[in-house]
Structure formats: structure tokens, C-alpha cells
Amino acid sequence: MKKYLFISLIVLAVVVACKSAMDSKSTVLKINLEAKSNSTVAGTATFSEKNGVVTFEAIMTGLTPGIHAIHIHEKSDCSSADGTSAGGHWNPLFKKHGKWGEAEYHKGDIGNFTADENGKGTISLKTDEWCIGCEDETKNILNKSIIVHANPDDFVTQPTGNAGGRVACSGIIR
């Protein structure tokens, strides 16, 4: 009897350890931004997911100084010279365009960031509204794209935020 109890405790410990390791699983996806619309924008966007929370960070150079918008768009296609092949903002819940976290907004409405006098800019966001490769298509960011815009998002104009041309693009793909 003691032998079976001991074996049962070992099996239970292995199951708990495996579940704990699965729960703390981390996924990281780093993509390079490609200049569009005759810009000189370059940089990277990194998405990492751990325990159901996605952390997004983009680091860019070659921007005009000032405020720029950045959004997730619906297609991972950056083949056109102006980035329009990426389609519109990713909006799986069919909401109005707006400011992230306030009233209505697209899941792709990340927001604005500022490029300094040298054209360098960064932005970061943490959310449980996205996932990397999960089965929930209202959260899954894979096979979408990141678009950096020439102008700021006004958070009002439908459906784009009047953010201007697309100066960088990258498919969110593995």
C-alpha cells in the first residue's frame, strides 16, 4: 500500500510540474519593419506572450520628428509600395475606431508615439486582448501586420483616425 501511495505522489508531482511549466510558457515573436511610401523607416516590433498577456514593443528609426500612429492591420501582406496591401485596421469585433482602452476601439488601434528630433521612436503596450497563435480569432494577432503611419491618430475619424500614409509595414508571421 505504501508503494502505491508513493508512486501516486510522484505521478501527482510530475503532473503539477508539467501544468506549471505549461502555464508559464512564453512565446516571443520579433519582426523587422520595412520602409514604405519612399520613407527611410526601419526598426523592429516584438510581441511576447506569457500567462495570457501579450507585451508589444516597437523601436523605430528614420521617422520624421513628431507624433505618429501605429496600428495592427488585417492582412500580413506588405507587398505594395505604400503598404495598402495590408488592408484596414484589424477590427474583429466590428467596433468604431477610437483610443485604446476608452469606449469603442479596434483591437488594432494601438495608438500614438513620438519620434524624437533624430527620428527615433518607441512604443509599448501590454494586453490580454491579444494572443500569439491561439484559436480565438478575435484575439489572435498572427497573420496580421503592423503599420506605422506618417501622422498621429486623431482617435475620431472613422475608420482610420486620419493617420496619413503608411511609412512602415511588417507581417506578424512566424
For each of the domains in the chain, give its residue range(s) and CATH number, in order of start: 25-172 (2.60.40.200)
Other beta carbons within 10 angstroms of residue 60's beta carbon come to: 23
For residue 11, name the pLDDT band (cuts at 50, 70, 90): very low
Q: Is 58 helix (H, G, I), strand (E, B) or coil?
A: strand
pTM of the model: 0.85
CB distance 71 to 154 below 8 Å: no
User: Tell me, what's the pLDDT at 26?
Assistant: 84
User: Tell me, what's the pLDDT at 121?
Assistant: 98
User: Tell me, what's the pLDDT at 17?
Assistant: 41
For the cut 90, the answer to whether the pLDDT of residue 62 exceeds it is yes
User: Tell me, what's the pLDDT at 24?
Assistant: 53
Q: Cα separation of 53 and 132, whole Å?
A: 10
Q: Cα separation of 159 and 12, whole Å?
A: 52
